[in-house]
Structure 1
Amino acid sequence: MSQQPQHRPGPPYAPTTAALGGIPSVIPDVPISAVFIAIYVAFATINMVIFQLNNRRAYKFVPSVALFGFCMARIVTLSLRIAWANRQTNVRLAIAANIFVNAGILIVYVVNLIFAQRILRAKQPSIGWNTALRILYRVLYAGIACALIMVITAVVLSVYRLDPYTLRACRDVQLTSGTYLLVITALPIFLTAAAYLLPRTPNQERFGDGKMRTKAVIVIATACLCMLNAGFKAGTAYSPQRPLHDPAWYHGKAPFYVFNFAVEILILCVLTLTRVDKRFYIPDRSSEPGHYSGRVESSPESVGEVAVGKQRREEVATLSDV
């Protein structure tokens, strides 16, 4: 079936340039999407079960809920792609599907930033708990939200306007947002490196189960996979635009599913199967040096929590190297 549009009756206007994944069709997109949906449903179930079991023991680990939310967002993404495959001329479905493709993975970017921050705070408390770094993290989170809003706005505008100036501005916004998100995916590597390469401090802390080296490997591995995902999107965005009927190899369906959903499944495997809910757990209301290890109580009401933390640290001390 030819993908070249015969006319543009919009708005919204059907695209004239090739995009990642192209226009989906019933074969092969529907069966492939269905398989990925089943995998995301499994990981969503696992992460929610982990959260509920931990929560019953007063062991709250919010990143498990975030990973559950990420899986649910991906289920919606692939469901929209299936709907689009059955309604190829529906431009509004195409807009929604493309927005969710770009939005869902941001949850994982934030989770990995949080894990890297916890390693830095444990290994270098004077730096990790510094007010300037706290402010920087808030700025980074605000920047991620702004990047998402900018991408959504650019995607919507690009199918409702035809003037070259607006289309060029939308492309510039998408390039800027993609570059920013690529930088965000690399930050956990630098934060983890700083935690280990800077001079050791005598007031280091431990948190969660397992060795700190294993936690660092998890963060770096996740960051590399996130960089692969974000780098592919940014690289294709910077490449010259191609006509809809003459896409490049990277616009194909195979690269789309591999560099997006297959890579994300690998990320979920790393974060779920290594039980980050145990490795990266910290006591509630931790807000200053000493809270991770329970040397400093966060509030009078948290005495019971500190006692639990001490018991957990005794268990951690008996663990063998992972």
Structure 2
Amino acid sequence: MSQAQQHRSGPPYAPTMAAVGGVPSVIPDVPISAVFIFLYMVFAATNMTIFQINNRRSHKFIPSVALFAFCMARVATLTLRIAWANRQTNIRLAIAANIFVNAGILIVYVVNLIFAQRILRAKQPSLGWHTALRIALKLLYVGIACALIMVITAVVLSVYSLDPYTLRACRAVQLTSGTYLLVFTTIPVFLTAAAYLLPRSPKEETFGDGRMKTKAAIVLTTVCLCMLTSGFKIGTAYAPPRALNDPAWYHGKAPFYVFNFTVEILILCVLTLSRVDKRFYIPDGSSKPGYYSDRVGSLSGSVREIKVEKERRHEDIISDSV
């Protein structure tokens, strides 16, 4: 144990290694955070308004709520950073702020995968609706939850322990979770590629408004931006640790705000302004091939109409006989 660690006060312990973004200060962190809070609030209000208007028209689109939740999570993240800037020695605030920085973007990762899955199901129904793929995607979602829990546990434990073995284990857990998240961000690329590179299916469907190629371009654009921010996080995490008084360029405030919040605002611009609520809408209860184009729903409606007509004729016959 180093001499610096021996003289540290009781837990939670202040970090001795440089981290991306460093310790926030009133200037410049508070005004920058305030600007981002305003932008996230605008997108939160926009997505919730879109959801409410669509919902009144029986056009339920849950991803709009997910984007609203993501924006509000980022408002909480930046609010915590402002509070931390005004109380720089408060380690608990630092822990909460760091956890929210890593957790919020996961919502967008999941939304991207859902959109890519819809494209695959429309272009390649036999593959997109296959039971094995469904199970695999569900396991990936479980993995996201596990990765988040592991990150939170490692972050909290690392500031409550001075044991070198524990700190190494926490770092290994964070690297493993970060690597998994980076891999997760790339999966929509493979699903979209499979949708277009495999032989064209005779049962191909369409859904929502606009061309399928435009939908694919939206997904790939947001995925690339997510890969950028996720790659920056894991790249800096794998870099050799630097002392608190000897940070690298990527530990600065500019990379922190650019590769996190600026990139996320760009993602929100793409998803919100392109009106994904119209482009990626599918009928409620879609659970098998034919539902996206509502062929199954139309068939079921026709069967119901035939049954109703038969019952009506049967009642007419009975009334006439009486």
Whether these two folds match at TM > 0.5 is yes
Deviation string, structure 1 residues 224-246 (Cα, Å, up to 9, x no partner): 00000100000000000000111
Aligned-partner SS, 2:51: helix
Q: Is the 8 A contact 2:208 2:280 kept in 1?
A: yes
| Structure 1 residue 229 corresponds to structure 2 residue 229 | yes
1:45 matched to which residue of 2?
Answer: 45
Give the gaps of 5 or more residues in structure 1. 305-322
Taking the TM superposition and a 5 Å limit, the aligned residue runs for 1:222-301 are: 222-297=222-297
- Sort the Cα spacing of 1:303 and 1:214 in 2 relative to 1 into closer, same or farther, 3 A: farther
In 2, the alpha carbon distance for the partners of 1:44 and 1:134 equals 30
Deviation string, structure 1 residues 56-106 (Cα, Å, up to 9, x no partner): 000000000000000000000000000000000000000000000000000
Give the Å deviation of 1:8: 1.8
Taking the TM superposition and a 5 Å limit, the aligned residue runs for 1:14-25 are: 14-25=14-25
In 2, the alpha carbon distance for the partners of 1:167 and 1:249 equals 24
Deviation string, structure 1 residues 112-139 (Cα, Å, up to 9, x no partner): 0000000000000000000000000100
In 1, the alpha carbon distance for the partners of 2:25 and 2:240 equals 25
Taking the TM superposition and a 5 Å limit, the aligned residue runs for 1:41-80 are: 41-80=41-80
CA RMSD of aligned residues (A): 1.8
In 2, the alpha carbon distance for the partners of 1:173 and 1:5 equals 22
In 1, the alpha carbon distance for the partners of 2:234 and 2:70 equals 21
1:155 matched to which residue of 2?
Answer: 155
In 2, the alpha carbon distance for the partners of 1:241 and 1:165 equals 16
Aligned residues: 301
Rg larger for: 2
Aligned-partner SS, 2:227: helix
In 2, the alpha carbon distance for the partners of 1:212 and 1:292 equals 13
Give the gaps of 5 or more residues in structure 2. 305-322
Q: Is the 8 A contact 1:182 1:230 kept in 2?
A: yes
Aligned-partner SS, 1:296: helix
Give the Å deviation of 1:297: 2.3
Larger mean Cα displacement after TM superposition, 291-300 or 86-95: 291-300
In 1, the alpha carbon distance for the partners of 2:267 and 2:36 equals 14
In 1, the alpha carbon distance for the partners of 2:80 and 2:270 equals 26
Give the Å deviation of 1:10: 2.2
In 1, the alpha carbon distance for the partners of 2:17 and 2:251 equals 10
In 2, the alpha carbon distance for the partners of 1:270 and 1:140 equals 25
1:134 matched to which residue of 2?
Answer: 134
2:121 matched to which residue of 1?
Answer: 121
Q: Looking at secondary structure, tell me which structure has more helix per residue.
A: 2
Aligned-partner SS, 1:202: coil
Aligned-partner SS, 1:297: helix
Give the Å deviation of 1:299: 10
Please report the TM-score for the alignment, with normalisation by the length of structure 1. Answer: 0.91
Q: Is the 8 A contact 2:124 2:195 kept in 1?
A: yes
In 1, the alpha carbon distance for the partners of 2:222 and 2:124 equals 21
1:109 matched to which residue of 2?
Answer: 109
In 2, the alpha carbon distance for the partners of 1:180 and 1:300 equals 42
Give the Å deviation of 1:303: 9.9
Q: Is the 8 A contact 2:5 2:162 kept in 1?
A: no
- Sort the Cα spacing of 1:161 and 1:290 in 2 relative to 1 into closer, same or farther, 3 A: same
Give the Å deviation of 1:302: 11
In 2, the alpha carbon distance for the partners of 1:128 and 1:199 equals 14
In 1, the alpha carbon distance for the partners of 2:228 and 2:61 equals 27
Q: Is the 8 A contact 1:151 1:177 kept in 2?
A: yes
Deviation string, structure 1 residues 173-229 (Cα, Å, up to 9, x no partner): 000000000001111111101100000011100000000000000000000000001
In 2, the alpha carbon distance for the partners of 1:20 and 1:302 equals 60
What is the one-letter code of the residue matched to 1:211? Answer: R
In 1, the alpha carbon distance for the partners of 2:80 and 2:248 equals 24
In 2, the alpha carbon distance for the partners of 1:201 and 1:189 equals 19
- Sort the Cα spacing of 1:32 and 1:298 in 2 relative to 1 into closer, same or farther, 3 A: farther
1:181 matched to which residue of 2?
Answer: 181
Q: Is the 8 A contact 1:115 1:280 kept in 2?
A: yes
Q: Is the 8 A contact 1:286 1:298 kept in 2?
A: no
Q: Percent identity?
A: 79
Taking the TM superposition and a 5 Å limit, the aligned residue runs for 1:161-200 are: 161-200=161-200
In 1, the alpha carbon distance for the partners of 2:249 and 2:119 equals 40
Q: Is the 8 A contact 2:236 2:250 kept in 1?
A: yes
Q: Is the 8 A contact 1:33 1:82 kept in 2?
A: yes
Give the Å deviation of 1:300: 6.0
Please report the TM-score for the alignment, with normalisation by the length of structure 2. Answer: 0.91
In 1, the alpha carbon distance for the partners of 2:67 and 2:288 equals 26
In 2, the alpha carbon distance for the partners of 1:202 and 1:159 equals 57
